[in-house]
Structure 1
Amino acid sequence: MSTPAEYYRSLPPVSKTYGVACLMTTSAYYLQLYDARNIALDYGPVFKSLQVWRLITNFFFLGSFSLPFAVRLIMIAKYGVSLERGPFDKRTADYVWMFIFGAFSLLVIAAVPFFWYPFMGISLVFMIVYVWSREFPNARINIYGVVSLKGFYLPWALLALDLIFGNPIKPDIVGMIAGHLYYFLTVLHPLAGGKFKFKTPLWVHKIVAYWGEGTQINAPVQSNPSAGIVFKGRSHRLGGTQATTKSTAEQNEGNASASSPQPQSQSKGIAFQGKSYRLNG
């Protein structure tokens, strides 16, 4: 069984960063370090007083410490991590773009007064769950050990639970709308032969490359030399000069031994010496 520290280090970067940010935001609120009204989404202060941070900070507050907060954090740890390790494996920039696109879509939807909610982080988490349900429609889900259903119906089951427990269901519905919009543009529309291609912008690839965490297949940019030391290390191991020098030396040594004839008994001894040299040399 792994320790909490080992589990934390094993988490993929995007889900880990977002989950920790939400946990720290709620912890600071619990310690009364700020007023939640100062980070809530309110378009009045955004345009009148230029409090633009509200467009970002509202996504990191999932409520005060409670059972609903724990459930939302578990959603990130379970379904967000599953997406990042599954369909978005080695596609860190695409996964970051899903978060950015989802947040932007939720801000646009929240401009309609009926869909507005002060903290859209709940909707962003529900968007993750919806995308997961479309990527893993046949996965078996067990809810509280009572109901077993397919992954495709998970968002609707969670929506029904929030309705039963008396939690607001508006954030859930808005998150499902944003999730379906993203899934339609990235999966359903291309499969239907649509000409419009919804790709991750180049600037998102640059951010991920500068960040130096995660990987991206066929990334259009190179990692930052100072931030992406991990990538340099991998490149060095694959095509570095040390490996070339070692292979050249072994080849020369093999040619030299092959060109000098030796008795059969000595060749057997040399074979054993060669193995001993490779193991303990």
Structure 2
Amino acid sequence: MAFETFQQEYLQMPAVTRAYTTACVLTTAAVQLEVITPFQLYFNPDLIFKNYQVWRLVTNFLFFGPVGFNFLFNMIFLYRYCRMLEEGSFRGRTADFVFMFLFGGLLMTLFGMFVTLVFLGQAFTIMLVYIWSRRNPAVRMNFFGLLNFQAPFLPWVLMAFSLLLGNSVIVDLLGIAVGHVYYFLEDVFPRQLGGVRLLQTPSILVWVFDRDDDPAYTPLHEDAPGGYAWGAEPQEPRDEGEREGQPDDADG
């Protein structure tokens, strides 16, 4: 019964979210089983461009460290916000969603050459969180039942939490920076006077991903809680300014 429930939930995930989270889990499992080592996965420009180990351009986004709190924390946020974006503002626009992945990954790779980061998966997760939070500014959130704030503050709360754990905030700042670049070019600049949409999804992606609607999953609507509920109950909207049907988010 438990396996059937898991299988049903897995198959209901939208395609891009399912593919990316599966790749991350399988990569981590392969490292845990010592089939491969992190030294074969990390981002190294010399090995990529001089030794032609081009797979590192992808694998450095798939490994979040050994199984533990940090891995589970990142996977929860990756799964939830990737899915919320794909089933929310990118609903029916799989090609645009894939293009966002490629655009964000390219920018992080370029920046990664200058900040000496070896794994960029966490930064990519923060990028997804940032874009979702800016597109859902009215959602109220709760972090560990201790802190209440509006959704746009979530990336900064996560960065502060990472700092408290003794981690470097460079990864979080990179994710926030890349997320803001995408958000500005896609959501802000085209709406300004004389603005144009600079990020045009290539036709080949539209041909591959958007030829047919994908009926293979059940939507996790964007008006559902935007992240993992750390034991806090959602609150009722307190004013008419809330999006219709949008509950407060219990997130963390």
TM range (shorter): 0.7 to 0.9
Instruction: State the shift of 1:206 in Å.
Output: 2.7
Q: Could you tell me which residue of structure 2 aligns to residue 127 of structure 1?
A: 127
Q: Distance in 2 between matches of 1:18 and 1:10?
A: 14
Cα distance per residue 1:6-52 (max 9 Å; x no partner): 22122111111111110111111011111111111000111221111
CA distance in 2, matches of 1:213, 1:144: 37
Matched, 1:206 2:178: no
- Aligned AA (2:175): G
Which residue of 54, 57, 69 corresponds with 1:55? 57
Equivalent residue for 1:148? 148
Partner of residue 7, structure 1: 9
Distance (whole Å) between structure 2 residues aligned to residue 57 and residue 49 of structure 1:
16
Gaps of at least 5 residues in structure 1 are: 216-229, 231-281
Structure 1 counterpart of 2:239: none
Contact 1:13 1:213 in 2 (8 A): no
Partner in structure 1 of residue 74 of structure 2: 72
Q: Is the 8 A contact 1:92 1:214 kept in 2?
A: no
1:253 counterpart residue number: none
Give the TM-score of the pair, scaled to structure 2: 0.80
2:16 aligned counterpart, secondary structure: helix
Total equivalences in the alignment? 213
**Higher Cα Rg: structure 1 or 2?**
1
Query: Deviations for 1:62-93, whole angstroms, at most 9, x for unmatched residues?
Result: 11111111111111221111111111111111
Q: Contact 1:15/1:81 (CA < 8 Å) preserved in 2?
A: yes
1:82 aligns with 2:78: no
Q: Is the 8 A contact 1:110 1:116 kept in 2?
A: yes
CA-based RMSD:
1.9
Higher share of residues assigned helix: 1
Alpha-carbon spacing, 1:14–1:8, altered in 2? closer, same or farther (3 Å) = same
Q: Write out aligned runs for 1:1-281 (5 A).
A: 3-112=5-114, 115-193=115-193, 194-209=195-210, 214=214
The change in CA–CA distance for 1:148 and 1:196 in structure 2 (over 3 A counts) is closer
Amino acid at match of 2:206: H
Per-residue CA distance 1:110-159 (angstroms, 9 max, x = gap): 121xx221011111111001101101112121111221211110000000
Provide the secondary structure at the position in 2 that maps to 1:149. strand
1:177-211 CA distances to partner (integer Å, 9 max, x unpaired)? Answer: 1101111111111011313532111121133258x
SS at match of 1:148: strand
Aligned amino acid, residue 120 of structure 1? L
Runs of 4+ in structure 1 off by over 6 angstroms are none
Residue 92 of structure 2 contacts residue 213 of structure 2 at CA under 8 Å; is this kept in 1? no
Q: How far apart are 1:104 and its partner, in Å?
A: 0.4
Q: Please give the per-residue CA displacement for 1:225-252, whole angstroms capped at 9, x wherever unaligned.
A: xxxxx9xxxxxxxxxxxxxxxxxxxxxx
Structure 2: gaps spanning 5 or more residues: 217-252
Sequence identity, in percent? 33
Query: TM-score by structure 1 length?
Result: 0.72
- The secondary structure found in structure 1 opposite 2:61 is helix
Whether the aligned pair in 2 keeps the contact of 1:93 and 1:204 (CA below 8 Å) is: yes
- Give me the whole-angstrom Cα distance separating, in 1, the residues matched to 2:198 and 2:174: 24
